[in-house]
């Protein structure tokens, strides 16, 4: 009888573990597909036209606050560097988290990791320059949220490297996941806007200058919420019983569906109109 009960418990546990693993993997696959769609947009709007010498095309991106400004050579250079590195970091981040690559190509993982962490610092510091020196500011909330994001990116990236150097692989992995979340904060911001717009059948709570209640909430929420979900996931994976893991797996699945809707919206309404290869 006792043996039967404990076998049942073990089965429940392994089913819950497997469900949580599957939900996390599905989340990752959908996220990577969405991020590479973003890379496709960045490449087709900024990278390819600039490299091919017909950079005028991205000047027409009038959804930008500043973007390209005639005569502002330094500002345009920083902005161009920012979007080029955005394509690089978004591509390299996903590769860094694939376990098969870590297991079979450790030297690629190390080199890609160095590129990723350097790019994270360049994005954070370059972004701060765009906000505070170039003055790409719409509201004080927007400036505060992007400044806090830049600080979090640098803190998480530093911790990832420190734990790797100290060979604390479990902590290194946790900090790498946190870095991944904050580096993708701007991507979450875009898909979050689209999810919310589709859900409300229109731009609810958004102001003309990104100063509506939703703009302010999501300015910070776009990276704090993914970070919070990650922390809950890690704690559940490590400490929860089978019921907790099943609930987390279901919640993660719901988050993935919401993310998929946001990615679809971002592709259809934000990125696809600019993709003109």
Q: Which stretch binds ligand HEM (CB under 6 A): 10-18, 148-156, 157-165, 198-206?
A: 148-156
**HSE of 77, CA atoms in CB hemisphere, 13 A:** 4
**Between 1 and 52, CB nearer to ligand HEM:** 52
Whether the CB-CB separation of 89 and 116 falls below 8 Å is answered with yes
Any contact of residue 272 with ligand HEM (CB under 6 A)?
no
Any contact of residue 39 with ligand HEM (CB under 6 A)?
no
Of 183, 206, 248, 259, the one binding ligand HEM (CB under 6 A) is: 183
- The two tokens of residue 39 are 């890379």
Of 44, 146, 160, 179, the one binding ligand HEM (CB under 6 A) is: 146
Whole-angstrom CA distances from 115 to 23, 31, 97, 122, 236 are 29, 21, 14, 10, 31
Closest CA to 217 of 226, 225, 229: 225
Q: What is the Cα–Cα distance from 218 to 221, expressed in whole angstroms?
A: 4
Q: What is the Cα–Cα distance from 20 to 28, expressed in whole angstroms?
A: 12
- Residues binding ligand HEM: number (CB under 6 A): 25
Any contact of residue 42 with ligand HEM (CB under 6 A)?
yes
Residue 225 CB, nearest approach to ligand HEM (Å): 16
Q: What letter does residue 44 receive in the DSSP assignment?
A: I
Q: What is the Cα–Cα distance from 39 to 89, expressed in whole angstroms?
A: 9
**Between 82 and 173, CB nearer to ligand HEM:** 82
Whole-angstrom CA distances from 164 to 5, 40, 93, 119, 172 are 42, 31, 16, 17, 5
Length of the chain in terms of residues written: 277
Of 10, 29, 64, 106, the one binding ligand HEM (CB under 6 A) is: 64
Q: What is the Cα–Cα distance from 64 to 178, expressed in whole angstroms?
A: 28
Residue 233 CB, nearest approach to ligand HEM (Å): 21
Whether the CB-CB separation of 128 and 150 falls below 8 Å is answered with yes
Q: Which residue is at the shortest CB distance from ligand HEM?
A: 127
Q: What is the Cα–Cα distance from 30 to 199, expressed in whole angstroms?
A: 19
Of 12, 57, 59, 66, the one binding ligand HEM (CB under 6 A) is: 66
Residue 61 CB, nearest approach to ligand HEM (Å): 6
Of 136, 163, 179, 189, the one binding ligand HEM (CB under 6 A) is: 136
Q: Which stretch binds ligand HEM (CB under 6 A): 1-9, 62-70, 172-180, 214-222?
A: 62-70
Residue 168 CB, nearest approach to ligand HEM (Å): 25
Residues 72-131 that bind ligand HEM (CB under 6 A): 82-83, 86, 89-90, 123-124, 127-128, 130-131
Whether the CB-CB separation of 135 and 108 falls below 8 Å is answered with no
**Between 78 and 233, CB nearer to ligand HEM:** 78
Q: Interface with ligand HEM by CB under 6 A: which residues?
A: 42, 61, 64-67, 82-83, 86, 89-90, 123-124, 127-128, 130-131, 136, 146-147, 149-150, 153, 183, 186
């Amino acid at each position: 009888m006792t043996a039967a009960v404990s076998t049942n418990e073990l089965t429940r546990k392994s089913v819950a573990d497997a469900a949580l693993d599957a939900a996390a993997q599905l989340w990752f696959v959908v996220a990577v597909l969405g991020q590479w769609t973003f890379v496709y947009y960045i490449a087709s709007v900024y990278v390819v036209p600039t490299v091919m010498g017909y950079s005028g095309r991205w000047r027409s991106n009038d959804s930008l606050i500043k973007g390209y400004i005639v005569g502002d050579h330094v500002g345009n250079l920083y902005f161009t560097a920012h979007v080029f590195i955005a394509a690089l970091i978004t591509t390299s981040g996903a590769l860094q988290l694939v376990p098969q690559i870590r297991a079979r190509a450790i030297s690629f993982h190390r080199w890609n990791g160095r590129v990723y962490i350097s790019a994270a610092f360049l994005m954070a510091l370059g972004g701060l320059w765009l906000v505070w020196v170039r003055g790409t500011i719409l509201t004080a909330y927007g400036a505060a949220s992007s400044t806090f994001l830049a600080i979090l990116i640098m803190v998480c990236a530093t911790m990832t490297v420190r734990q790797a150097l100290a060979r604390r692989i479990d902590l290194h992995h946790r900090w790498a996941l946190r870095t991944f979340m904050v580096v993708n904060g701007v991507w979450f911001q875009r898909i979050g806007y689209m999810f919310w717009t589709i859900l409300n059948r229109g731009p609810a709570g958004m102001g003309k200058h990104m100063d509506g209640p939703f703009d302010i909430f999501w300015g910070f929420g776009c990276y704090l919420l993914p970070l919070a979900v990650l922390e809950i996931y890690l704690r559940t994976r490590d400490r929860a019983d089978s019921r907790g893991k099943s609930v987390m797996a279901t919640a993660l699945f719901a988050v993935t569906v919401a993310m998929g809707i946001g990615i679809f919206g971002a592709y259809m309404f934000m990125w696809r109109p600019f993709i003109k290869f």
